[in-house]
Amino acid sequence: MNGHLKSIASDAGIEEEFTTYTIRHSWATIAKFMGTPTEMISKGLDHNSLRTTEIYLKSFTNHVLDETNEMVVS
């Protein structure tokens, strides 16, 4: 699957990493920023534990925040 995604990204001119993992993270993060309850995001990701989803969102949110801070101060 990730091989196909890499081809799609290349065809679309996307140079960033484009995998099922990054797509899931993007979906979850967008949903969170849109105000979707964590419980619903957890179901969407098919996580067995809400704690797993909270960890998942926290790690990605920090990454997004770091990128935003970099753009603001540059």
Domain spans of the chain? 20-73
Residues 62, 6: Cα–Cα separation, whole Å: 25
Sign of the CA dihedral running 21, 12, 14, 59:
negative
**What CA–CA distance (Å, rounded) separates 20 from 69?**
26
The residue ranking higher by pLDDT, 23 or 69, is 23
**pLDDT tens column, 27-71:** 998 898 888 999 999 999 999 999 999 887 876 666 777 777 788
Is residue 26's pLDDT more than 80?
yes
Q: What is the pLDDT of residue 51?
A: 93
Distance CA 37, CA 41 (A): 7
pTM of the model: 0.65
